[in-house]
Amino acid sequence: MNSAHGPRVAVVGAGLGGLTLARVLQLHGRSVTVFEREAATGARSQGGSLDIHADTGQTALRAAGLLDRFRALSRPEGQEWRVVDPVTGTALPVPGPGHDDDSPEIDRGQLRGLFLESLTEDTVRWGCAVTGATPLGDGSWRLLVDDGTTEDADLVVGADGAWSRIRPALSDAAPGYTGVTFVETGLDDCDTRHPSLARMVGNGTLLATADGKALLAQRNSNGHIRVYVAFRAPHDWQVAAGVEPDDTAAVRAHLLKTFNGWDESLLRLLRHHDGGFVNRPVFVLPVPHTWEHVPGITLLGDAAHLMPPVGLGANLAMLDGADLAHALIAESSVDDAVRAYESLMLPRSARAAQDCAEALDNLIPPTDS
């Protein structure tokens, strides 16, 4: 059942958590295979900038032997927060929602690339969409792939995000809509093409919030500013607004109307954006999300504890990956390792998810508050 290099570990999902697990296992001479539905490493945008915390994400990077390389790529200046009055556009003497004094920023794609470059060749099987997993009766599992093939493993790790195909083997829970939507857009080559907006945003993140709405602008690498418009609305808010999601002009007009009365310096982030708008409704798993232990299978990251995007999710996913790897190395059996990992991860993630839910409510207060 086990190979010469330990149990057969199959990780579903090549996100930050799954890649951390794979990297730490390989550092200790263990075999691991990562199954990823994307066709290749650059198949889609990896999202915005992440603040990597000293006690979570950086702990995982140290375990992966990548902390120095991360430091070379990261942007310590990106920790800067500017909070402004939405009506006047003037700076407020209010600290931003920072986490600690050592949380440098890095683009998610850069961080993912750092992990991918560190893995041995063919660790990740690209274009391999896992549709589910079935038990084989002896503690091992069979992965089902969308091309009709299968793969057997002594441990299956669902690291496949919010809409995990592995989660149903452990839990009936499904993500639910929080009532908050983020609409994303951005500005390219901002220092040259939009210098006044670049100065307003600064090196880190700009935040304006009032009346259950927020506008965030986040500096990324290569002169890009990523803009998020956040508000409470039904999941299908475009229907009520009579707006087609791909009608950029109509979405822009609706957002400008929604934020009517805000300072023009902030609204210029919406008037002068590049490209269209991307709708990102915020879904979360129940808090706490737990399950009865099942031999040979477990979850990490968003598959285990999907929470609001307020700065903890990626950090916790990486720490999950490192903790599970260490348990597999230290314990005498896969089952003991998974039990040890889940006893650590589940209560930690429940506390974090509650904190994130409160942070989202503070940013975008419920309408009945």
Give residue-wise pLDDT tens across range 148-194: 999 999 999 999 999 999 999 999 999 999 999 999 999 999 999 99
pLDDT in tens, 61-101: 999 999 999 999 999 888 888 999 999 999 998 765 555 56
Domain residue extents for the chain = 9-78+102-175+286-363, 179-282
pLDDT digits (tens, 9 = 90+) for 6-29: 899 999 999 999 999 999 999 999
Tokens of 38: 């994307």
The pTM (predicted TM-score) of the whole model is 0.94
Residue 45's pLDDT band, with cuts at 50, 70 and 90, is: low
Which stretches within the chain are classed as H helix? 16-27, 57-63, 67-73, 108-118, 190-193, 195-201, 237-241, 248-258, 264-271, 302-305, 313-330, 334-363
| Order of strands, sheet of 9-12, starting from the edge strand that comes earlier in the sequence | 124-125, 33-35, 9-12, 155-158, 297-299
Q: Any residues with CB less than 8 A from the CB of 252 and at least 6 apart, and which? A: 270, 271, 273, 277
Q: Which CATH number is 179-282 given?
A: 3.30.9.30
pLDDT for 77 equals 85
CATH number of the structural domain 9-78+102-175+286-363: 3.50.50.60
